[in-house]
Structure 1
């Protein structure tokens, strides 16, 4: 088998049509692997049909193991194909026709670049541009001036659209599976930088990205606030608290800022009228588990839901 240069790994969960994403990625990559994270029959059948039609490999996990575990399974499959680079993607992102080539050009400029990412932009009014730079106390969105640069050193890269060097993964390690979903990319990025690797954004490379959340616009605030489902309230609060606790890989100054942010996040979401009782329950459980660093899938801790 010839050695593949770039293998795309797409993680799906109850996906809609995948033809657009596969059609955009297959011409740009040497192979595409889809890892389905325990979708029910309709979503799984859509994934099967799309992979068969486009010649992509499908890995069916049979249960929801979380985004990190699914990425790790896909990365293992990509390495088995001889990949030098792995392009991570979720099911709700569409790359521009030149995105992979632009990322590949950037990552090959320096052998100490662990990963490069595009400029992910949401498809809605007031859309976030999800590139984060180190502002000292925490990662913050890049400014317009920074996004005008051809290359930008970043604090971490969001997973979707991220091109990762396989040799860097061997040194840094895999995605952290006990986080399950939120902050997986943040935690890996912190480990990468602590190990002396670089993370670089390529703003000219574009990715249309959908977070799937509702947003709230507050007076005097340019950036929208994303409103997550109650189960995500649990994971976001829990994982934030776990990452700022004892033995945290985060810089000390980030831990201070993320602790403050976690308090704001809990107060804001507790005040939302939608599914208030459920949100309060999830936030209480996220607080308790985060402070004790009790991680893993929510269902394994609370089988009664």
Structure 2
């Protein structure tokens, strides 16, 4: 598809392809699917592809698009601010693109490789502060972008995510386990009730 040939094709964000050099994994853009943000599989066979919410770092934002919606929500800073802003632009009819030929190194958490349920996988370790904002902001955004029945399924999904993070903290984290577990509990609670002005 040639964007320049489409009169109604309005670009909101153009983002690079970020990857973590420690794991060689691409940090994928996100799409909102029914009740949650879902990582969109990277497609290196094209020059660009669309997503709802690309990463903020290294992105270019159209000034014309930015004037149509409120600015990024500062209360969502640290984690989730890009998910919210990108999706709001999409809802206004703008297209957010990831350029596959523009690469950017981006450290994402502290990855460790673990064996879980007989499979090796990378998991991210964070500070208690980061766990708090991930749980709070994602719980807030996903339950509020969900509509109808999916509002309930989003709630269940966020509780499941919180419990899974607590399991990983108990099994694999080496320090501040209790503080990090409390951060997940408190962050999820505040996100679900809509209190995102309360800092850690």
Q: TM-score, normalised by structure 2?
A: 0.79
Q: CA deviation at 1:200?
A: 0.7
Q: CA deviation at 1:266?
A: 1.4
Q: 1:183 aligns with which of 80, 83, 99?
A: 80
Could you say which residue in structure 2 is the equivalent of 1:141? 40
Give yes or no for contact 1:182–1:239 (8 Å, CA) kept in 2: yes
Give yes or no for contact 1:157–1:185 (8 Å, CA) kept in 2: yes
Please tell me the root mean square deviation across aligned C-alpha atoms, in Å. 2.9
Q: CA deviation at 1:107?
A: 8.5
Q: 2:101 aligns with which of 204, 217, 221?
A: 204
Q: CA deviation at 1:294?
A: 0.8
Q: Deviations over 1:172-223 (max 9, x none)?
A: 2210112232110000111001011100111111111112423344456676
Is 1:291 the counterpart of 2:189? The answer is no
Give the whole-Å Cα distance in 2 for the aligned partners of 1:252 and 1:235: 26
The unaligned stretches of length 5 or more in structure 2 are none
Q: Give 1 or 2 for the bigger CA radius of gyration.
A: 1
Stretch of structure 1 that moved more, 220-229 or 191-200: 220-229
Q: Deviations over 1:77-115 (max 9, x none)?
A: xxxxxxxxxxxxxxxxxxxxxxxxxxxxx9877761011
Q: Deviations over 1:11-44 (max 9, x none)?
A: xxxxxxxxxxxxxxxxxxxxxxxxxxxxxxxxxx
Q: How many residues align?
A: 189
Give yes or no for contact 2:80–2:137 (8 Å, CA) kept in 1: yes
The unaligned stretches of length 5 or more in structure 1 are 1-105, 300-305
Give the whole-Å Cα distance in 1 for the aligned partners of 2:188 and 2:198: 15
Q: 2:163 aligns with which of 267, 274, 287?
A: 267
| Structure 2 residue matching 1:168: 3-state secondary structure | helix
Q: 1:214 aligns with which of 111, 134, 146?
A: 111
Could you say which residue in structure 1 is the equivalent of 2:127? 229
Q: Deviations over 1:240-269 (max 9, x none)?
A: 221133xx2356697567545423331233
Equivalent runs, 1:111-122 vs 2, <5 Å: 112-122=10-20
Q: Which has the higher contact order (CA 8 A, sep 6+)?
A: 2
Give yes or no for contact 1:180–1:296 (8 Å, CA) kept in 2: no
Equivalent runs, 1:79-90 vs 2, <5 Å: none
